[in-house]
Every structure is written in C-alpha cells, then in structure tokens.
Amino acid sequence: MPRSYHRYKSRSRSLRSSHHRHKRRRRSSSSGRRYEDKYYESPGSDYRRERSLSPERQIFRDNHYNDRSESGYYENYSRHYYHEEKDKYKSKDENYQSSYRKHKHKRRKHHSHSCSSTRSNKDQQRSPSVEDDEDGHLIYHQGDWLQARYEVVGTLGEGTFGKVVKCKDHQTGQSVALKIIKNKEKYREAAKLEINVLRKINERDPSGEHLCVKMFDWFDYHGHMCVSFEILGLSVFDFLKENNYIPYSLDEVRHMAYQMCDSVLFLHDQKLTHTDLKPENVLFVNSDYSIKYNPEKRQDERTIKCTDVRLIDFGSATFDWEHHSTIVSTRHYRAPEVILELGWNQRCDIWSIGCIMFELYLGITLFQTHDNREHLAMMETILGPIPSKLIRKSRKTKYFYHGKLDWDEKSSAGRYVRENCKSLKKYMTSNDEDHVLMFDLIQSMLQYEPDRRISLKDAVTHPFFDKLHCKRDMRESTSR
C-alpha cells in the first residue's frame, strides 16, 4: 500500500482516540454534579457503609459537623428544589465564580439592603471592607459587628447554605444563632422563601406553643441573607451519633414523637408541608446530659436530661397552593409516592415521622439505601408488596415488570436487602404493650397509599401517647 494511505490511517486512529478521550472527560466532569437520587452503588460495593457517605449527607456530617460546639445549632440547606433548577442557576453561578476569582481581593461596590430596623451610619461606614471567600461565605472574625447590633462570638456550624454564628444581640442583650447565607443567588432566593414561611409561623404561633424554631430578625447584609434564631441544642441525630448510636429509651421516643406530631399537625393546619423531616432537623432545646458507665458494653452512656425539641429548617416547606417539586425529602425519609412520582401532599410528612420514630427507637436507619430500586425492595421486605394500584399509576415503569418490582434477589444488592431487612414487627426489642403500641403507630404511618396513612389528628390521640396525657393531667391537677 502507498505510504500516504498508512499516514491517513494513523492520523484517523489518533483523531478517534482523541475524540474518545474528550468524551470520557465530558462524562467524568458531569458525573461530579449528579444529584443524590442518581447516586448508585455497583453490585460489588460495600452496602454496609455508614449513611453519612451519601453525597447529600457527607458534606454535613463528616466535613462540617466534626467541630461540635456548645449549642450544636446545625442546619442542612441542600434543598431538592435547587437541583430541579440547577440548569437555570448553573450559568449564573459559574459566571459569578469566574468573575469573583478575578476580583476576589477587590472591595465589593454594591450596598446592602436591610429589612431590619437596626440599620445605622456606623454599619454603613464599615461596608466597603466586607469580603467573601471563594465559596461565597462571609469572611468574619470574633468581635465583628453586623448591623451595629450583632457581635460575633463564634461559629456554631456550617453547611452548603452558609454558616451559623453565635452572636450577642446588643439590642436585647441575649445570645442568638445568626444564620448567614452565602452570597449566591440560589441560596439567597431560597432563604427568602424560608423567611416568608417563618414569618407566617410567627404570626400564627407568636408564643412558640407549637415547637417550631423561633425567628427573631432577618436582614440582607451585603448580599448575605441573615436570619437570627433562638439558640438550641444538638439535633436528635447528632446526640445519637455522639452517643455511639445507643438508642433512646421508649419514654424518650414517646415524648419526642408526640412533639413532632403536634408541631407538624400545626404546620398542616396552616396548609404547609415541611417536606424535609429527618432527625437532623429536630433539635433539643437543651442537649445537656448525664453519663453512666455500662459495664456490659464497657463504655459510658449518655442520657439526655430534657427531651423538649424544636422543629427547624423550613427552607423547602411548601404551601398547598404553591408549586410542588417532583422530588422532596431526604432519601431515607422519602415516601413511596415521591419515589414513584405520583404527586405528594401533606401525608409525605407522616411517612417521614414514622421513619424517624423507628430510628430513634433502634439507633439505625429504617431504609439504608441510596438507590430508588433498592429502596422499593427494602419497602417490600419490611412492609409487604407495593399495591398494584400505585404501580399502575406510576410513571416509573422501569422499576417494574409485569406488575411487580423488577428486582434481582441473587445480586449483591439483593443479598444485602435479604440479610439486613425483615418484617417491621420483627424489629421490636420487647413484646410489652408499649412497644406493640408504638409499632402499631409506626405501621399506620408507613402505609403505601397516602390516603390510608393515619392522620396526625388521629396520631396525637393514639394509645401510644396515653401515658403522656396522663402525666400532663396529673401536673395540671397538682398545679391547681
């Protein structure tokens, strides 16, 4: 063959290989932006890894939550509806980052617009020195003042949304938790939505009787939305984790579960769905504890002194008349109608509460998975077959074959589900009446069909909570 032919073939091969390399690069660059729902562990991977390794949780638990402070006021602002609009925000964020890198050492020219009545000339004089880091966090130091009112004492927590800072409010003289949102449009807009919800809650429940976190003030500080809250203790999850996942006692679970039901019932009465109920969003008012040594386990065990809790994180709360995102709730507490894309309503919160109660009682997650198909397989193992009515209505036909879940029980994922999941009632640690009543309530909350799920009005009067009502009646009678 002529030499020109060989040169042509060699050149075409190199072009093809270069083309494939570029394709591989494009695939790999996009995979890093995948949302948690698309996260998939291969059949050979270790399914027993701790749930904090999910992309959604790893940031908050492993990286940001290592530095525990005295208040433990942490919030997760990685909302699902951000991902639904990520294409919309992607170009804006990239433009922001690229322009910021060029000018990150220059002072910002824009001014803050405050909705707080505490704006003063002193703060305006400091505004040119306000700077952000590369991630959009406000750069601050201990002793800095915001709005000539809030003096920074220290950092309480950090998340993708921004940081939570302990401040002294010099107008009231009390300490507050100030949530400082990143100076990015998507987080700023989400913070405004949360502020709107918190204002409604404050209007309807000014005394805080229904146990939602109390918002004191909010303002825009040079592009950072700032919200001040009451300082609370650790979340029920963080306390559980720091206690080596030793479960709460039945009485503690009963009290916390009742408070959750009462608080979420109040939200539902306001035509509001929380959509992100999980142990991280239920905080102790005070997380002080006593320690007792357990000789059998050869370790110290903590016992919470007071089980009063507050509900936090209303960043993805949705009113009944607002647009309902397709995907809501953190994976482990997500209702089947959300996974199957059947549409959701307030009953998805009730499913989440049932999952939380189980976790507090046993110290383990009920549905430990990161994949939709595996999640549905776990549901069937624990709760029984998915009703054919839901399967017929679902748009997720790829999960089913001839009206049944398309699931390979012989795969490594199938073995994991078979070895680690069992019927719900088999998880009971005792056959005493209280344990039976609690699992009866959990099972009624974990009904596949939303309409068949127990309502929270009925849940708060369930026999499992009778002992709480008796104690309350006794306290009221003695106080008289």
Query: CA-to-CA distance for 151 and 6, rounded, in angstroms?
Result: 75
Residues forming beta bridges with residue 405, ordered by sequence position: 400
pLDDT of residue 478: 57
Residue-wise pLDDT for 219-235, tens only, equals 999 999 999 999 999 99
Per-domain residue ranges for the chain? 103-229, 236-479
- Classify 231 in phi/psi space as left (phi over 0), alpha (psi -120 to 50) or beta: beta
Is 122 annotated as belonging to a binding site?
A: no
Mean pLDDT score, 32-60: 36
pLDDT of residue 282: 97
Indicate the pLDDT class of residue 155, thresholds 50, 70 and 90.
very high
Mean pLDDT score, 129-137: 87
Residue 103 has pLDDT above 90, yes or no: no
Please state which CATH number belongs to domain 236-479. 1.10.510.10
Indicate the pLDDT class of residue 23, thresholds 50, 70 and 90.
very low
Domain 103-229: state its class.
alpha beta
Q: Whose structure tokens read 């790829």? A: 398
Q: Which two tokens stand for residue 331?
A: 């994976």
Lowest mean pLDDT: which of 101-115, 182-196, 361-375, 397-411? 101-115
Q: Which two tokens stand for residue 96?
A: 């922001």
Residue 48 has pLDDT above 50, yes or no: no
Tell me whether residue 262 is one of the annotated catalytic residues: no
CB 275 within 8 A of CB 328: yes
Instruction: Name the 3-class secondary structure at 178.
Output: strand
Kindly list the distances between the CA atom of residue 224 and the CA atoms of 190, 192, 325, in Å, as whole numbers in the listed order: 12, 11, 25
Quick one: 308 exposed, middle or buried, by C-beta within 10 A (0-12, 13-18, 19+)? middle
Most confident of 130-139, 182-191, 342-351: 342-351
Question: Which one, of 136, 127, 128, 171, lies nearest residue 150 by Cα?
Answer: 171
Residue 68 has pLDDT above 60, yes or no: no
Indicate the pLDDT class of residue 93, thresholds 50, 70 and 90.
very low
Query: CA-to-CA distance for 171 and 150, rounded, in angstroms?
Result: 8
Query: CA-to-CA distance for 142 and 96, rounded, in angstroms?
Result: 28
Kindly list the distances between the CA atom of residue 217 and the CA atoms of 114, 173, 176, in Å, as whole numbers in the listed order: 11, 14, 10
Indicate the pLDDT class of residue 18, thresholds 50, 70 and 90.
very low
User: What's this model's pTM, rounded to 2 decimal places?
Assistant: 0.74
Lowest mean pLDDT: which of 7-11, 80-84, 154-158, 400-404? 80-84
Query: CA-to-CA distance for 224 and 388, rounded, in angstroms?
Result: 49
What does 259-302 look like in DSSP terms, one character per residue? HHHHHHHHHHHTTEE-----GGGEEES---EEEEEETTTTEEEE
Which member of 123, 132, 276, 313 is catalytic?
Answer: 276
Query: CA-to-CA distance for 410 and 413, rounded, in angstroms?
Result: 8
Residue-wise pLDDT for 30-43, tens only, equals 333 333 333 333 33
Residue-wise pLDDT for 430-464, tens only, equals 999 999 999 999 999 999 999 999 999 999 999 99
pLDDT of residue 129: 73
Spatial neighbors of 313 by CB under 8 A, at least 6 apart, are: 75, 76, 77, 276, 280, 281
Residue 97 has pLDDT above 90, yes or no: no
